[in-house]
Amino acid sequence: MTHFLDIHTTAKSDLRAMIDAARRIKEARGDVPKGTPDRDQPLKNRMVALIFEKPSTRTRISFDLGVRQMGGETMVLSGADLQLGHGETVADTARVLSRFVDLIMIRTFEEATLHEMAEHATVPVINGLTNRTHPCQIMADVLTYEEHRGPIAGRKVVWSGDGNNVCASLIHAAGQFGFDFTFTGPQPLDPEREWIDFARCQGVAAETERDPAKAVEGADLVVTDTWVSMHDPQSARERRHNQLRPYQVNEALMARAKPDALFMHCLPAHRDDEVTSAVMDGPQSVVWDEAENRLHAQKAVMRWCLGV
């Protein structure tokens, strides 16, 4: 079964094929009006289940629209609709869903839920996000960088802030796409050592630099994410702000990177916390292209999973 569970568990050649396909898919639409079907209808007569245990804006819209544009239909389900892992085991839900749909995308909390779904489903499963990784976002990020600056291989990418699930998938991508990675943030929020070791084993530099000004020197791309999760209690939010304030991406920090460095943020952003509005809306920011490219990258992922 061709699942898309994580970047580090997907072959490099397949990842490259998906990025190249995503670019072709985007270019093929050209000036086609928004929301209209693609000329190619590879998902015609296909049904895709979109499961959301966690709330979503970009993931829901981009997957739903992507399926519809490719001629398929969607069934959007919340965790409450399925009582996933409560009223019925995840394994049994996977078995039942597989009798009705052609593809499952799940956005969940625990990585174990994703893997149990994939283990027992007889249709492909896509990781729409877990607490540990967010591979679809990083596929869109790679696509965005390459359409603005060419191949990402050999470039220097810097993550400033919390070593969270998006950061984890970016480190995976460093190893798989061949770019160097630097993390800058407080030690309690370091990314998992396992991910750093994975990237290094692929032959790229994966480093930590506590001084953000030093970290971004020579950077081709600077990336950050929100400092707090929607589920964090107030006490945790205050602690995170105190820890991460020195790692805000602002104009002074971007000035230390290469003159043509890009800025990315997966959104939603808390303006003037992790990033200033001047950077978000500035000439180096590609956050809106990055958001749009979730649609094109995920179309390529779905086509790869289904072999169409």
* Residues annotated as catalytic (active site), given as ranges: 107, 134, 137, 225, 266, 294
**Rounded to the nearest 5°, which phi and psi values hold at 273?**
-100, -90
The 8-class DSSP code of residue 188 comes to: G
Structure tokens at 83: 């009582």
Cα–Cα distances (Å) from 107 to 56, 144, 178, in that order, read 8, 22, 27
- What's at 129, amino acid-wise? L
Closest C-alpha to 137, from 77, 224, 50: 224
Closest C-alpha to 121, from 141, 146, 92, 148: 92
Q: How many CA atoms lie within 13 A of 164 on its CB side?
A: 22
Helix (H, G, I), strand (E, B) or coil at 7: helix
Structure tokens at 166: 């998006």
Residue 158 Rama label (left phi>0; alpha psi -120 to 50; beta): beta
- What's at 42, amino acid-wise? P
Cα–Cα distances (Å) from 281 to 164, 222, 251, in that order, read 24, 15, 11
Closest C-alpha to 213, from 153, 257, 261: 257
